[in-house]
């Protein structure tokens, strides 16, 4: 053997020895992250349900074994070239060497290319043994502040694995920002500041998403904190946040603004003239706190908050039974809810009883939770589980039915384990056609996983161990759901209550609580949740804290620095009234004796709920005003079903519609004129009835000019009342 041949053989032996010493790459932990980072398994590429150009990958890599099969065995030799690894179609397309719809995903000198090439050279092997899997990720720093614009700072993403090991996965993560106008983040994790404000940047790796809060504050030597003293923990956390962001809160609302706001929020209608005058004349320094307590104890508060809960559980009459005219079951449920709110039943007990309820739909009100959320004669566990999770946890778990949640930590395992809580829900016919009994079969089979068909026993989302066999799955679910340490439940509930008073939640939308949709003030949401639990899940105590805070009582008038703030509650927001509150406000202000079809006289709009003419039909409101002004259709559980946007049809209806016309012609003006009040007194009372304030001097002069010399004519007063009802001031809370 000549010398050159000997050298060649020696080189082959050395190369083979080096390859044998090289670490065997993991398909799951080394190869799949490259597809993730390069965007190959996103929904717009091969991760779509139909794939792209004949090649399908699971969305964000939720089905790693399926992806391995499709890559290496579905068409043997097409995508992986074991003889000449660098000629593998997988590499040629990704580097743009051959035509590729997705274009070049990375270059040949990148670490991504080297990883895939090495894996193919090692035999394109699958993971044979049990491997460590990511269990969470962190981003460093978790918060950053830029004192100026067009500055930048790097981030680092670390993954922790089930064996305790740590790995820097910054170059394998995907990055995005909630607000690129304030701060953006590059593909490599470099954060850049652009404008004053606050936002979050996020990193996603595997099934995990983690955020870092970014605050951008251009230097302002003239800024001085001009805030007021806090009265409770809400103010402390809000004001700390405002000062950090160099924002000053607006001034406190005056008494007229406050009384109208708190009446609308706590009772669903403005104060009467007597209620208004009594409050304004009161000189007590704690009169606002006293009024809040009075309203919390009122029947109107009970009616409003019963109506709000009835809307959230999609209460309807008749739509879930073959009998179109049946309202008894709905009334049974509504009256039960009313009694619980009136008694101030702790919210955890209130929810627990609904989740575990069994019995007749006609006599056992809370059982109707299992008929209202899913309006169908046949109970559907998947639909119910999705609605249940969205309502009680603010988690849209349905996003994980076909793949791991793309923007949260929930997996398909979480989804199917959660659905199994409801596979035993059964309806048994009662003594009459409109009656049936709700109960739970304890040994009902669980659902099967979509990917591999394995049975998924009932397991709470995020839980690791299923409940014990033979137990009532709903009891186990209710105990977990309402436990003091379940922050998913308490944060979701307190966020919804906060949104009622501020027209936006700390997390918005309120039913989309996920890692990639963080609260605008995380410490505040945590504090609200903790105090809610500490106070025994007391709804009224939570509302009392909110309404007594300076934050709630701020004026809607902006100051020189907070005009653009719509996230940090530096001022009160102009809030368009809900359709039912608007109608009840018109009724109360005008002393209109209005009725609602199929409901007894004296029913308020907030108490009225729709009927459906059959199982497949949509809600039949039987009230055009409520439908036109955006009351929830109750077709889905989504909070977006309640509309607050103004429309041209609404404007026309307020101007020329029958409802406002009848209200204007009802009892208020005849009563005032019968009392022989002066024009000034009548005008003032009209203003108080509608706007909870006296007219300004200019307004009063204009009204007197409109009335003229003949004080006995009703028409000028009717015109004034019509104008007040049609004003923006009347149709909004502020």
Local confidence band at 623 (pLDDT 50, 70, 90 cut-offs): confident
Q: Which of 586, 597, 578, 733 is nearest to 661 (CA)?
A: 586
Is the pLDDT at 616 greater than 70? The verdict is: no
* pLDDT value for 620: 55
Residue 236 and residue 215: Cα distance in Å, rounded?
Answer: 19
DSSP symbols for 72-121: HTTTTTTS--SSSGGG-HHHHHHTTSS--TT---S-TTSHHHHHHHHHHH
Lowest model confidence (mean pLDDT) among 104-118, 290-304, 590-604: 590-604
Instruction: Assign 3-state DSSP to the chain and report helix, strand, coil percentages, each to 5.
Output: 45, 10, 45
Helix, strand or coil, per DSSP, at residue 417: helix
Is the pLDDT at 16 greater than 50? The verdict is: no
Cis, bond preceding 509 (omega within 30 deg of 0): yes
* pLDDT value for 375: 66
Q: Which of 134, 92, 132 is nearest to 116 (CA)?
A: 92
Using a CB cutoff of 8 Å and minimum separation of 24, what contacts does 709-716 make? 711/678, 711/679, 712/673, 714/669, 714/670, 714/673
Average pLDDT over residues 23-44: 90
CA angle at 42 for the pair 40 and 47, rounded to the nearest 5°: 80
Q: Give the tens place of pLDDT for each residue, 244-264.
A: 999 999 999 999 999 999 999
Mean pLDDT for the chain overall: 89
718 sits in which H/E element? helix 714-725
* pLDDT value for 572: 95
Selection from 142-151, 259-268, 564-573 with the highest mean pLDDT: 259-268
Domain boundaries in the chain?
A: 23-121, 134-216, 346-481, 667-733
Residue 149 and residue 385: Cα distance in Å, rounded?
Answer: 46
In contact, 102 and 52? CB cutoff 8 Å: yes
Average pLDDT over residues 264-293: 97
For residue 628, which phi and psi values (nearest 5 degrees)? -65, -35
Q: Give the tens place of pLDDT for each residue, 466-516.
A: 887 777 899 999 999 999 999 999 999 999 999 999 999 999 999 999 988
* pLDDT value for 236: 97
In contact, 328 and 368? CB cutoff 8 Å: no
* pLDDT value for 324: 36
Local confidence band at 619 (pLDDT 50, 70, 90 cut-offs): low
Length of the chain counted residue by residue? 734
For residue 210, which phi and psi values (nearest 5 degrees)? -135, 145
Residue 468 and residue 715: Cα distance in Å, rounded?
Answer: 73
Is the pLDDT at 342 greater than 90? The verdict is: yes
Instruction: Mention every residue, 6+ apart, whose C-beta is less than 8 A from residue 245.
Output: 197, 198, 215, 217, 568
Local confidence band at 377 (pLDDT 50, 70, 90 cut-offs): low
* pLDDT value for 530: 97
Lowest model confidence (mean pLDDT) among 76-90, 189-203, 535-549: 76-90
Residue 210 and residue 198: Cα distance in Å, rounded?
Answer: 17
> What is the 3-class SS of 143-157, one letter each residue?
EEEECCCCCEEECEE
Lowest model confidence (mean pLDDT) among 70-74, 345-349, 364-368, 484-488: 70-74
Under CATH, what is the fold of the domain 134-216?
A: Immunoglobulin-like (2.60.40)
Lowest model confidence (mean pLDDT) among 364-373, 532-541, 612-621, 718-727: 612-621
Residue 262 and residue 25: Cα distance in Å, rounded?
Answer: 63
Local confidence band at 188 (pLDDT 50, 70, 90 cut-offs): very high
Residue 455 and residue 441: Cα distance in Å, rounded?
Answer: 17
* pLDDT value for 498: 98
211 sits in which H/E element? strand 208-216
């Amino acid at each position: 053997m000549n010398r050159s041949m000997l050298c060649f053989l020696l080189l082959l032996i050395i190369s083979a020895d080096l390859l044998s010493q090289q670490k065997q790459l993991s398909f799951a932990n080394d190869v799949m992250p490259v597809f993730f980072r390069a965007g190959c398994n996103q929904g717009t590429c091969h991760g779509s349900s139909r794939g792209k150009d004949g090649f399908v990958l699971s969305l964000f890599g939720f089905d790693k074994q399926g992806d391995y099969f499709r890559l290496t065995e579905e068409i043997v030799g097409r995508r992986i070239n074991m003889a000449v690894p660098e000629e593998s179609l997988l590499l040629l397309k990704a580097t743009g060497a051959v035509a590729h719809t997705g274009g070049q995903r990375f270059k040949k000198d990148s670490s991504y290319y080297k990883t895939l090439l090495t894996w193919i050279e090692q035999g394109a092997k699958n993971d044979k043994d049990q491997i460590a899997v990511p269990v969470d990720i962190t981003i460093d720093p978790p918060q950053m502040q830029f004192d100026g614009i067009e500055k930048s700072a790097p981030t680092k993403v670390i993954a922790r694995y089930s064996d305790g090991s740590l790995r820097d996965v910054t170059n394998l993560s995907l990055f995005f920002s909630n607000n690129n106008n304030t701060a953006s983040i590059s593909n490599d994790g470099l954060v850049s500041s652009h404008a004053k404000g606050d936002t979050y940047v996020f990193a996603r790796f595997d099934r995990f998403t983690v955020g870092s809060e970014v605050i951008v504050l251009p230097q302002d030597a003239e800024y001085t904190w001009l805030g007021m003293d806090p009265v409770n923990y809400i103010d402390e956390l809000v004001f700390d946040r405002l000062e950090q962001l160099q924002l000053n809160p607006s001034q406190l609302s005056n008494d007229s603004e406050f009384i109208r706001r708190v009446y609308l929020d706590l009772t669903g209608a403005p104060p009467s003239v007597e209620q208004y005058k009594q409050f304004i004349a009161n000189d007590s320094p704690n009169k606002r706190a006293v009024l809040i307590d009075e309203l919390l104890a009122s029947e109107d508060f009970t009616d409003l908050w019963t109506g709000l809960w009835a809307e959230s559980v999609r209460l309807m009459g008749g739509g879930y039974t073959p009998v179109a005219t049946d309202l008894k079951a709905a009334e049974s449920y509504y009256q039960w809810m009313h009694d619980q709110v009136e008694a101030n039943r702790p919210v955890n007990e209130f929810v627990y009883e609904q989740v575990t309820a069994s019995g007749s739909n006609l006599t056992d009100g809370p059982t109707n939770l299992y008929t209202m959320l899913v309006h169908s004669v046949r109970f559907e566990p998947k639909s119910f589980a999705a609605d249940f999770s969205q309502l009680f946890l603010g988690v849209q778990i349905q996003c994980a039915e076909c793949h791991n949640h793309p923007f949260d930590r929930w997996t398909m395992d979480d989804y199917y384990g959660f659905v199994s809580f409801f596979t035993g829900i059964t309806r048994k016919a009662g003594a009459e056609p409109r009656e049936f009994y709700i109960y739970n079969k304890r040994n009902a089979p669980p659902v099967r996983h979509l990917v591999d068909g394995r049975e998924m026993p009932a397991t709470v989302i995020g839980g690791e161990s299923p409940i014990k066999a033979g137990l009532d799955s709903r009891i186990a679910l209710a105990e977990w759901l309402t436990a003091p340490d379940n922050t998913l439940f308490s944060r979701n509930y307190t966020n919804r209550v906060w949104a009622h008073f501020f027209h936006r939640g700390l997390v918005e939308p309120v039913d989309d609580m996920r890692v990639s949709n963080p609260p605008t003030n995380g410490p505040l949401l945590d504090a609200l949740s903790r105090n809610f639990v500490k106070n025994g899940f007391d709804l009224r105590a939570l509302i009392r804290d909110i309404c007594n805070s300076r934050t709630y009582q701020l004026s809607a008038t902006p100051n020189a620095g907070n005009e653009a703030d719509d996230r940090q509650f530096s001022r009160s927001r102009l809030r368009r009234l809900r359709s039912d509150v608007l109608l009840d406000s018109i009724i109360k202000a005008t002393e209109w004796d209005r009725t609602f079809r199929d409901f007894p006289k004296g029913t308020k709009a907030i108490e009225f709920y729709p009927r459906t003419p059959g199982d497949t039909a949509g809600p039949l409101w039987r009230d055009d005003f409520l439908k036109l002004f955006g009351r929830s259709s109750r077709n889905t559980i989504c909070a977006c079903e309640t509309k607050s946007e103004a429309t041209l049809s609404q404007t026309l209806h307020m101007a020329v519609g029958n409802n406002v016309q009848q209200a204007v012609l009802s009892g208020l003006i005849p009563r005032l004129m019968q009392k022989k009040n002066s024009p000034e007194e009548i005008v003032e009372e009209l203003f108080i009835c509608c706007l909870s304030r006296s007219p300004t001097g200019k307004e009063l002069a204009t009204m007197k000019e409109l009335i003229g010399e003949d004080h006995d004519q009703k028409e000028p007063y009717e015109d004034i009342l019509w104008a007040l009802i049609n004003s923006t001031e009347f149709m909004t809370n502020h």
